[in-house]
Structure 1
Amino acid sequence: MSTDHTPRPLDARLENATVRYGRSLALDAVSFEIEAGSITGLLGRNGSGKTTALSLLAGFRAPTRGTVTVGGADPMEEEDVATSVCLIRESGDVIGDSKVADTLEVAEMFRPRWDGDLAHELLDRFEVPLTKNPNALSRGKRSVLGAVIGLATRAPLTMLDEIHLGMDAATRVEFYELLLADYAAHPRTIVISSHLISEVETMLENVVLLDRGSVVHAGGTEELRSQGATLTGRDDAVRQAAADMRVLSERTLGPTTELTVLADLDAAARADLATRGIGVGHVGLQDVVIHMTGRTS
Structure 2
Amino acid sequence: MKIEVKGLTKKYGNKHALDNISFNLEEPKIYGLLGRNGAGKTTFMEILAGQILPSGGEILIDGEKPFDNRKLTESICLIKEGANFKQDLTVKNVLKIYSYFYPNWDKSLAEELVNEYNLELKAKVKSLSKGMESSLGIIVGLASKAPITVFDEPYIGLDAAARKKFYDILLREYEEEPRIIIFSTHLIDEVSLMFEEVLIIQDGKLALQENADVLRSNAVAVSGTIDQVEHFISDKEVIMKKQIAGMMTAYVFGHMESAIETGLQAEGVPIQELMIYLTERKGA
TM-score (norm 2): 0.93
Residue among 209, 212, 216 paired with 1:218? 209
* Partner Cα separation in structure 2 for residue 187 and residue 227 of structure 1: 27
* Partner Cα separation in structure 1 for residue 229 and residue 25 of structure 2: 38
Residue among 209, 212, 221 paired with 2:200? 209
Map 1:226-237 onto structure 2 (within 5 A): 226-237=217-228
Secondary structure class of the residue paired with 1:260: strand
**Matching residue of 1:164:** 155
* Partner Cα separation in structure 2 for residue 166 and residue 270 of structure 1: 39
**Matching residue of 1:250:** 242
> Which blocks of at least 5 consecutive residues in structure 1 are unaligned?
1-9
Residue among 249, 266, 269 paired with 1:280? 266
* Partner Cα separation in structure 2 for residue 111 and residue 28 of structure 1: 32
Shift of residue 165 of structure 1? 2.0
Shift of residue 273 of structure 1? 3.1
**Matching residue of 2:63:** 72
Amino acid at match of 1:271: E
The answer on 1:154 being equivalent to 2:140 is: no
Shift of residue 26 of structure 1? 0.4
Between stretches 125-134 and 228-237, larger displacement belongs to: 228-237
The answer on 1:100 being equivalent to 2:91 is: yes
Displaced runs of 4 or more, over 6 A? none
* Partner Cα separation in structure 2 for residue 53 and residue 229 of structure 1: 31
Shift of residue 14 of structure 1? 1.1
Between stretches 224-233 and 116-125, larger displacement belongs to: 224-233
Amino acid at match of 1:157: I
Amino acid at match of 1:248: M
Map 1:1-297 onto structure 2 (within 5 A): 10-91=1-82, 93-244=84-235, 245-254=237-246, 256-261=247-252, 263=253, 265=254, 269-294=255-280
Cα deviation, 1:8-34, whole Å, max 9, x if unaligned, reads: xx2322111111011111011111222
Secondary structure class of the residue paired with 1:259: strand
Shift of residue 131 of structure 1? 0.4
TM-score (norm 1): 0.89
Secondary structure class of the residue paired with 2:150: strand
**Matching residue of 1:4:** none
Instruction: Say if 1:237 and 1:102 are closer, same or farther in 2 by CA, change over 3 A.
Output: same
* Partner Cα separation in structure 1 for residue 43 and residue 4 of structure 2: 14
Shift of residue 231 of structure 1? 1.7
* Partner Cα separation in structure 1 for residue 123 and residue 113 of structure 2: 16
**RMSD after superposition:** 1.7
- The answer on whether the counterparts of 2:224 and 2:249 sit within 8 Å (CA) in structure 1 is yes
Shift of residue 148 of structure 1? 0.3
Cα deviation, 1:188-228, whole Å, max 9, x if unaligned, reads: 11111111111111111001111111111112012222342
Shift of residue 77 of structure 1? 4.9
Identity across aligned pairs (percent)?
Answer: 35
